[in-house]
Chains A and B, each alone.
Chain A
């Protein structure tokens, strides 16, 4: 039986599509296509694109490496203060990015809590690509945690019991049973984190600064261009859109399954 959609829902759904599509159409319509090649092939644009890809991908890898164990512990382990830790894990998601940047500076800036420690170890995060990676990883970690949590919760715990009964150590069961079975959710979380990292602006600007080749990711480049050459900004914005859409499309069956 085909789903019966109430008329009001159909209307609102159409409005939702328009809400998302119209700004994108505006971008495409107003972009100065004659300038497009010049803008895209400029060293600033290429540098921003390369940097964005490096920063986002590294941030995605870091958030998965940290997020999967965190989600595991939050769903499987019992310890005092668990709900507090969970609130903490989700906090970067609701924190305004600029606030996140200020907080990161307070912790890891030169005058921050751990500034002297980092300096003694020869590490400088502000004004560096590493800083941009830290800022983007900070804001996108919750996305991985939430996705993996949902995967672990929907997993039948009896599979891991069965694995244990067959002689599998905790690590072996996690490696060969649990992780493969939640791989789709881990991938979905990684892609979401990657997309969030790609678009990160406020925290990066505040914590890492804005320098072409080191910290000026695409969103920062769009912003700077927007102050001077709105046409070029439109072109760069479209580059961002195209890259995001391409990745979402490539992973569509994994991230957005539809029946």
Chain B
């Protein structure tokens, strides 16, 4: 059929030009929002999204999960996010300063770090300090990723930064990738969030507690991303997350409550 290539081309162009169903371009008053959230929030926010849609008929929430630094870059370059929930204030500030700006920023949760090992703990890691033992194959998130920055901060607090960092065999793009490397048994140990090993998500790994004296508190801010079509729905979602329903879910997933 001679017209087949033309037909295919036409369909492609049509698909490409279809209106984005989400994001700031949906127009004010649209009940369809896109939330960019840190990887560590995957489980909790998916659940929150379901509950939110259930209690707000007509609302639709789409999520994009990833490392907070990567998400911030995307928003800065114009990605259609209505809400941004970051695992550190650093990247919220980045969007605020270098990106479209934010409104209604509020801290909605906190997190602590924990060491994880494969179920059979091949390197016999029993404490945070054991990460400095020679030969331990340690995996953490890359520098710049909140989980990676926090991990390095904690190692520094414990005075084992140099030795432990010599044990790092891979810098992963987010905490979820670290969990995956440890759970599969490839790495001996990893440093991730406490929420990553909660009852709901961390079945394949063993957790080793990091004492509060050296541990780092991760601060999670959330805000509506400013834009020409700022969505009322975005603010409503942010309120839901900081409200009792959202907080209950976050608690169930192992997050610490926001201060105050």
Q: Which residues of A contact B (CB under 8 A)?
A: 105, 109-111, 126-127, 209-212, 214-216, 223-224, 226-228, 230
Q: Which residues of B contact A (CB under 8 A)?
A: 67, 69-70, 73, 76-77, 137, 139, 142, 144-145, 168-173, 181, 184-187
Known: A227-B67, A227-B70. A111 touches B171 (CB 8 A): no
* Residue pair A226, B137 in contact (C-beta under 8 Å): no
* CB of A164, distance to nearest CB on chain B (Å): 49
* Residue pair B185, A211 in contact (C-beta under 8 Å): no
Kindly name the residue among A105, A109, A214, A228 whose own CB sees the greatest number of chain B CB atoms within 10 A.
A228
* Residue pair B170, A109 in contact (C-beta under 8 Å): no
Which A residues are CB-close (under 8 A) to B67?
Answer: 227
A234 CA / B70 CA spacing, docked (Å): 15
A223 CA / B73 CA spacing, docked (Å): 12
* Residue pair A215, B186 in contact (C-beta under 8 Å): no
Q: Name 19 extra pairs, CB < 8 A, besides A210-B142, A210-B171, A210-B173.
A: A111-B184, A111-B186, A127-B186, A127-B187, A209-B171, A210-B170, A211-B170, A211-B171, A212-B171, A214-B169, A215-B170, A223-B173, A224-B173, A227-B69, A227-B70, A227-B73, A227-B173, A228-B73, A230-B76
Contact of B169 among A105, A211, A223, A226 (CB under 8 A): A211
Q: Which 4 A/B pairs are nearest by Cβ-Cβ distance?
A: A209-B170, A127-B169, A227-B70, A111-B185
Known: A209-B170, A211-B168, A227-B173. A126 touches B69 (CB 8 A): no
* Residue pair A209, B142 in contact (C-beta under 8 Å): no
Known: A105-B186, A111-B186. A210 touches B137 (CB 8 A): no
* Residue pair B145, A227 in contact (C-beta under 8 Å): yes
* Residue pair A224, B77 in contact (C-beta under 8 Å): no
* Residue pair B185, A109 in contact (C-beta under 8 Å): yes
**Can you spell out 5 A-B residue pairs with CB atoms less than 8 angstroms apart?**
A127-B186, A210-B170, A216-B171, A226-B73, A227-B145
Which B residues are CB-close (under 8 A) to A227?
Answer: 67, 69-70, 73, 142, 144-145, 173
Which A residues are CB-close (under 8 A) to B145?
Answer: 227
A110 CA / B170 CA spacing, docked (Å): 15
* Residue pair A230, B169 in contact (C-beta under 8 Å): no
* Residue pair A226, B185 in contact (C-beta under 8 Å): no
Contact of B77 among A110, A211, A216, A230 (CB under 8 A): A230
Which B residues are CB-close (under 8 A) to A111?
Answer: 184-186
Kindly name the residue among A212, A215, A224, A230 whose own CB sees the greatest number of chain B CB atoms within 10 A.
A224
A215 CA / B139 CA spacing, docked (Å): 13
* CB of A202, distance to nearest CB on chain B (Å): 12
Beta-carbon nearest neighbor of A211 in chain B: B170
A111 CA / B186 CA spacing, docked (Å): 7
Which A residues are CB-close (under 8 A) to B170?
Answer: 127, 209-211, 215
* Residue pair B185, A228 in contact (C-beta under 8 Å): no
* Residue pair A109, B171 in contact (C-beta under 8 Å): no
Beta-carbon nearest neighbor of B169 in chain A: A127
Which B residues are CB-close (under 8 A) to A224?
Answer: 142, 144, 171, 173
Known: A109-B186, A210-B172. A226 touches B70 (CB 8 A): yes
* Residue pair B73, A230 in contact (C-beta under 8 Å): yes
Known: A127-B169, A210-B142, A210-B171. A228 touches B184 (CB 8 A): no
Contact of A110 among B76, B168, B172, B185 (CB under 8 A): B185
Known: A209-B139, A226-B70, A228-B69. A110 touches B186 (CB 8 A): yes
Beta-carbon nearest neighbor of A106 in chain B: B184
* CB of A187, distance to nearest CB on chain B (Å): 35
Which B residues are CB-close (under 8 A) to A230?
Answer: 73, 76-77
Which B residues are CB-close (under 8 A) to A226?
Answer: 70, 73
A71 CA / B258 CA spacing, docked (Å): 63
A111 CA / B73 CA spacing, docked (Å): 36
Beta-carbon nearest neighbor of A115 in chain B: B185
A227 CA / B185 CA spacing, docked (Å): 27
Beta-carbon nearest neighbor of B137 in chain A: A127
* CB of B190, distance to nearest CB on chain A (Å): 12
Which A residues are CB-close (under 8 A) to B76?
Answer: 230
* Residue pair A126, B186 in contact (C-beta under 8 Å): yes
A192 CA / B259 CA spacing, docked (Å): 57
A46 CA / B184 CA spacing, docked (Å): 32
Which B residues are CB-close (under 8 A) to A216?
Answer: 171
A118 CA / B160 CA spacing, docked (Å): 31
Beta-carbon nearest neighbor of A230 in chain B: B73
Beta-carbon nearest neighbor of B118 in chain A: A111
Which B residues are CB-close (under 8 A) to A223?
Answer: 173
Which A residues are CB-close (under 8 A) to B181?
Answer: 209
* CB of A160, distance to nearest CB on chain B (Å): 43
Kindly name the residue among A126, A214, A223, A227 whose own CB sees the greatest number of chain B CB atoms within 10 A.
A227
Which B residues are CB-close (under 8 A) to A109?
Answer: 184-186
